[in-house]
């Protein structure tokens, strides 16, 4: 993920530098139309804020638990409403978030220690609503900041699964806040924008099944890092 971030940053810096003295594209982009539509493509990491129960230090079988994020991707539709000179209201609905969480348990047996890995796949239908503050336009580019809230519904949640194979089940609903920043490049026919965003869930999405695998966890809250690319006309 760090390499992707560096590549995106260098690309944006070089592209922005090349646009400093170019002829201005899409003049009056915000003023001529109050509502703009577009789409989003992104890469995400479904991270987590994991709270471990103190009982893990007294158990005879489970020594530790860790949740590792795996890369996924986002698809979304953008509706951008121009509120003022430097303010927009933006919704990204529907947004589909495909991702996976890998639970790793360090377990002790008579044969020694081993790592038990379990996966929890998610496909969220999300509704982020954000306020967007834009800098002054400089040639064919400008910067912006976003902040808002989101609500998400996991369409492949294991909440209603009773199979013994499932170790950790997650609730379907999640909500929280979101912050981000990005750059906008005004091309000849559309506006292109790379963005970095951080979503923080405030709801405990863990379902405690009263098993050794869930009893050692007090809570699990989502924490998603996303690099996305938007295209608006």
Q: Could you tell me which residue, 110 or 178, shows the higher pLDDT? A: 178
Distances (CA, A) of 67 to 1, 42, 46, 165, 173: 17, 22, 10, 18, 19
**Domains and their CATH numbers in the chain:** 2-22+32-232 (2.40.160.20)
Tens digits of residue pLDDT in 59-106: 668 888 888 888 999 999 999 999 998 999 999 988 999 998 888 998
pLDDT in tens, 119-170: 888 999 999 999 999 999 988 999 999 999 999 999 987 765 655 555 678 8
pLDDT in tens, 152-166: 999 987 765 655 555
Taking residues 44-49, what's their average pLDDT? 90
Q: How far apart are CA 1 and CA 26, in angstroms?
A: 33
- The more confident residue out of 74 and 214 is 74
110 phi, psi to nearest 5 deg: -65, -25
Length of the chain: 233
Q: What is the DSSP code string of 207-223?
A: E--SSHHHHTEEEEEEE
Bridge-based pairing of strands 62-82 and 95-109 is: antiparallel
Q: In whole angstroms, what is the distance from residue 147 CA to residue 169 CA?
A: 30
Bridge partners of residue 88, in order along the sequence: 82, 132
Question: Which residues lie closer than 8 Å to 108 by C-beta, 6 or more apart?
Answer: 60, 61, 62, 63
pLDDT score for 136: 92
101 CB-side CA count, 13 A: 28
Q: Which of 2, 1, 18, 3 is nearest to 183 (CA)?
A: 18
Q: What is the pLDDT of residues 169-189, one digit of tens each?
A: 889 999 999 999 999 999 989
Q: What is the pLDDT of residue 33?
A: 85
- Look at residue 12 in the predicted model and tell me its pLDDT: 54
Is pLDDT larger for residue 26 or for residue 90?
90
Look up the pTM and report it: 0.84
């Amino acid at each position: 993920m760090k390499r992707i971030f560096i590549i995106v940053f260098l690309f944006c810096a070089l592209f922005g530098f090349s646009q400093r003295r170019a002829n201005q594209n899409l003049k009056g982009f915000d003023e001529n139309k109050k509502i703009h539509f577009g789409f989003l493509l992104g890469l995400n990491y479904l991270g987590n804020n994991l709270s471990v129960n103190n009982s893990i230090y007294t158990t005879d079988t489970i020594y530790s638990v860790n949740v590792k994020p795996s890369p996924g991707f986002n698809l979304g539709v953008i509706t951008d409403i121009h509120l003022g000179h430097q303010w927009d209201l933006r919704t990204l609905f529907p947004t589909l978030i495909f991702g996976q969480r890998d639970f790793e348990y360090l377990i002790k047996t008579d044969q020694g220690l081993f790592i038990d890995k379990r996966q929890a796949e998610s496909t969220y239908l999300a509704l982020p609503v954000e306020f967007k503050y834009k800098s002054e336009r400089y040639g064919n580019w400008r910067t912006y900041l976003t902040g808002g809230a989101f609500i998400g519904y996991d369409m492949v949640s294991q909440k209603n699964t009773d199979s013994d194979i499932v170790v950790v089940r997650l609730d379907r609903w999640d909500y929280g806040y979101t912050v981000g920043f990005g750059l906008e490049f005004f091309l000849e026919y559309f506006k292109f924008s790379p963005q970095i965003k951080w979503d923080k869930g405030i709801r405990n999405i863990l379902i405690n099944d009263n098993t050794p695998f869930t009893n050692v966890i007090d809570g699990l809250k989502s924490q998603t890092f996303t690099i996305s690319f938007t295209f608006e006309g």
